[in-house]
Amino acid sequence: MKRRSIIAANWKMNGNLSLVSDMVSGLNQLQLNENVEVVVCPSFPYLPAFSYAAQDENLQRMIQLGAQNVSEHQSGAYTGEVSTQMLQECGVKYVIIGHSERRNYYKETSTLIAHKVAKALESGLTPIICIGESEMERDSDQTNTVLSAQLQPVIDEIGIEKFADVVIAYEPVWAIGTGKTASPEMAQETHHFIRTFLADNQVDVAEKVPLLYGGSMNAANCEKLLAQADIDGGLIGGASLKVDEFKVICSAAKG
């Protein structure tokens, strides 16, 4: 079975209305391979602007809108939080959950992340679940143990069958924003472990889940990374703020 390829842009706390306009104009000229989806995840204030701009350019079929986070609550006295319903009213289809920066800076646990994944699925959003190890954990051969521990609470919360409706992004923490990148072979080895871990629970589901690489993928290394058997796309950080470079990565996705 052929899995879909996904290239997702994570702008983090960067960008402005000018970048929204430039990105929409640039992506309007993009020629994608069949079975490739592009997801753009700007900061919350720019979600409506991106949605409206994409509609004006008739890009809704090719470009999906994503958010960088979501609350595990549907509504209530949670100052500063954003619900799935709010995101949907902005045209959001995907949501990044469990990014290493959320785990590290805001102390989000794998249990909380599992609750968020469940809420997103319940609302019809597609979660992009981020997992990854630190450099110390990689150096001490703990990568597989760490990734398993991050995935298992989600499996326990939603059941393995629901993984047919999620995306997983492997983001080695030591390669995020550092300029370091896992070699294609190293990245493939880890992606293969993730798929095998899922297959130990259910083979059919494991074959359907798109696995993205999220460690400093850029225009120079994207082709070799995306050529690997278990790497179905990328979660792009810094390179997604540069329209021309992001277009190169999108065009490299095979589908």
pLDDT for the residue numbered 2? 78
Q: What is the pLDDT of residues 90-138, one digit of tens each?
A: 999 999 999 999 999 999 999 999 999 999 999 999 999 999 999 999 9
| Residue 11, annotated as binding a ligand | yes
| Residue 35, annotated as binding a ligand | no
| Residue 26, annotated as binding a ligand | no
Tell me the helix, strand and coil percentages in the chain, rounded to 5: 45, 15, 35
pLDDT for the residue numbered 182? 87
R_g over Cα of the chain: 17
| Residue 238, annotated as binding a ligand | yes
Catalytic residue among 72, 108, 137, 171: 171
Q: Which residues of the chain have pLDDT under 70?
A: 1
Round to whole Å and give the CA distance between 5 and 76: 36
Q: Distances from the Cα of 88 to the Cαs of 64, 126, 142, 164, in angstroms?
A: 12, 11, 38, 21
pLDDT for the residue numbered 76? 98
Q: Which of 213, 225, 219 is nearest to 245 (CA)?
A: 219
| Residue 10, annotated as binding a ligand | yes
Catalytic residue among 37, 72, 99, 108: 99
| Residue 80, annotated as binding a ligand | no
Does the predicted model carry a pTM greater than 0.85? yes
Domain boundaries defined on the chain: 5-252
pLDDT for the residue numbered 181? 77
pLDDT for the residue numbered 1? 55
Contact 167, 210 (CB under 8 A): yes
Q: Which of 186, 214, 249, 188 is nearest to 128 (CA)?
A: 214
Supply the CATH classification number for the domain 5-252: 3.20.20.70
pLDDT for the residue numbered 15? 97
Catalytic-residue membership of 37: no
